Structure 1
């Protein structure tokens, strides 16, 4: 009897960690939901960053703790990639509106996270500067009609953005890739296990972790508010650029569909935020 009581909670806790890992993996690839934020919510962000910052010193103590989350992360990441690729190909404008809704619905959560350690004038300055810089950059790319053709170098950049979405809470890699037209081919390559995408993406992610893990960990440790508010500014600017405004004027039917998708995304993100705030899943 006692053995069963001890065993069942252990199995339940293991399954719960795998589920949490799956949600983090899904958040890493799904627009608007940051895998980094979910790892903070689930109480493993510090463990992940300590492992990435000092992998040899922390390997034995940290890897066993993270294995269930890693298994779940792979399941969530790979499981959603093919679905996203299909939706973006068949229903591009409604899909983007759904993603914009998800991002919009996550903004209150990001705002709370950004202010967790207080706000200063510098916090608002960093947010505004990041917003203006990214907005100007992306609008400039659109106005100059630069067409980005995905190749090895660009997939390296995709891997950089993917790793950044894990080690920098609040940063969704889709935020940077969608305005550049790289999100769909990258996700499609992941979903179809295309090594022409997986290899450079993996190299880019690995280089990012090696070069930036300690820096970003230190940045959030000592300048949390400035860093998080800058990420918030980047998210808002990139989201504004991907909104398919022209699709709302094509017909009344397309406008209604897009608005419904936008609303569904907002509600889904708010529900997830509510769930995260109510459920204590930290070790």
Structure 2
């Protein structure tokens, strides 16, 4: 009976994690890939994407709750949270900052599972510096373009990249180009004129990059994982709403409370997750 209850709890946990990943994938500044990492499912997801036919029977049953939850979060809950992001942008982002920050201890723990050679810290710093410089550069340019079939293929590329490369939020790439809002609205309204080209871009990206990233983890696990931590930290720093902390004492306190709530929730989720046995 205890094992059965653990199985149900694990199923519910994976479903909730999938919902958070789906929500994180659509919110500005958040990366679905980051949340895959912090929830400890990044590697199996990459293995499935890299060899979908070979690993279908072994990986899909375990990841199915995450996939279902991701779809719910992306298409359903994301609309609700998008409302709060529009009405209360700073507190909403601060809540996710707290969530990611609270998951950093588990990230470092998982990154050290195969040891910590000296080079892994260099990989962390280099990845941090590159992503930080890239994101800062993107924020310096503001270019508006007209969405079309080709640009929606590019949106699909960015969406897939945000899963394959943790920390690279697709919104970070699309918002400076004026593509984020029409793309997300189109997905939420199930517009095939947007879904089809985006799907093409996503599939091509997965085919080209997923297997390479999977091989990178197989051969250079500690270096790759520490590099991901650098990416996560850089991406998190870039979404901190610094200006909102100086507007008023009330807004600063609200943001701090949201960050603390996110950290506590993440630590609690990690502790809960660690108590549930997972079958190999």
Question: Is TM (by shorter chain) over 0.5?
Answer: yes
Q: What's the counterpart of residue 138 of structure 2?
A: 141
Change (3 A) 1:210 1:86: same
**What's the secondary structure of 1:245's corresponding residue?**
coil
Match of 1:267 among 242, 264, 268: 264
The residue number in structure 1 matching 2:27 is none
CA distance in structure 1 between the partners assigned to 2:256 and 2:157 by the alignment: 32
For 1:251 and 1:219, the matched residues in 2 are separated by 46
- The structure-2 alpha-carbon separation of the partners of 1:200 and 1:172, relative to structure 1 and needing over 3 Å to count, comes to farther
Distance in structure 2 (CA, Å) of the matches to 1:167 and 1:271: 26
Q: Answer yes or no: is the 8 Å Cα contact 2:246–2:252 preserved in 1.
A: yes
Instruction: Tell me what 1:37 maps to.
Output: 37
CA deviation after TM superposition for structure 1 residue 189, in Å: 4.2
RMSD between aligned residues: 3.4
Cα contact 1:18–1:69 (8 A) shared by 2: no
TM-score w.r.t. length of structure 2: 0.78
- How many pairs are equivalent? 269
C-alpha distance in structure 1 between counterparts of 2:77 and 2:231, whole Å: 24
Q: Does 1:126 align with 2:118?
A: no
C-alpha change, 1:105 and 1:179, in structure 2 (3 Å) is farther
Tell me, what secondary structure is at the counterpart of 2:243? helix
State the partner residue of 1:115.
112
1: CA distance between counterparts of 2:255 and 2:62?
Answer: 42
- The gaps in structure 2 that reach 5 residues or longer are 25-29
1:213 matched to 2:210 = yes
Quote the Cα distance in structure 2 between the aligned partners of 1:19 and 1:236: 25
Cα distance in 1 for partners of 2:86, 2:236 equals 19
Following superposition of structure 1 onto structure 2, how do residues 186-225 of structure 1 map, counting pairs within 5 Å?
Answer: 186-225=183-222
Shift in Å, 1:17: 3.5
- Cα shift at 1:28: 4.1
Query: What is residue 177 of structure 1 aligned with on the other side?
Result: 171
Query: What are the equivalent positions in structure 2 for 1:1-283 lying under 5 Å apart?
Result: 9=4, 13=7, 17=11, 20-30=14-24, 31=30, 34-37=34-37, 40=40, 45-46=43-44, 48-59=45-56, 63=60, 66-67=63-64, 69-143=66-140, 145-147=141-143, 151=147, 155-164=152-161, 166-167=163-164, 171-172=166-167, 174=169, 177-178=171-172, 181=175, 185=181, 186-283=183-280
Structure 1 runs not aligned, ≥5 long: none
Q: TM-score, normalised by structure 1?
A: 0.78
The Cα of 1:104 is off from its aligned counterpart by 1.4
**CA distance in structure 1 between the aligned counterparts of 2:260 and 2:10, rounded to whole angstroms:** 29
The question of whether the paired residues in 1 share the 8 Å contact of 2:17 and 2:39 is answered with: no
Shift in alpha-carbon separation, 1:276–1:163, aligned structure 2, 3 A: farther
**Worse overlay, 106-115 or 194-203:** 194-203
SS in 1 for 2:175: coil
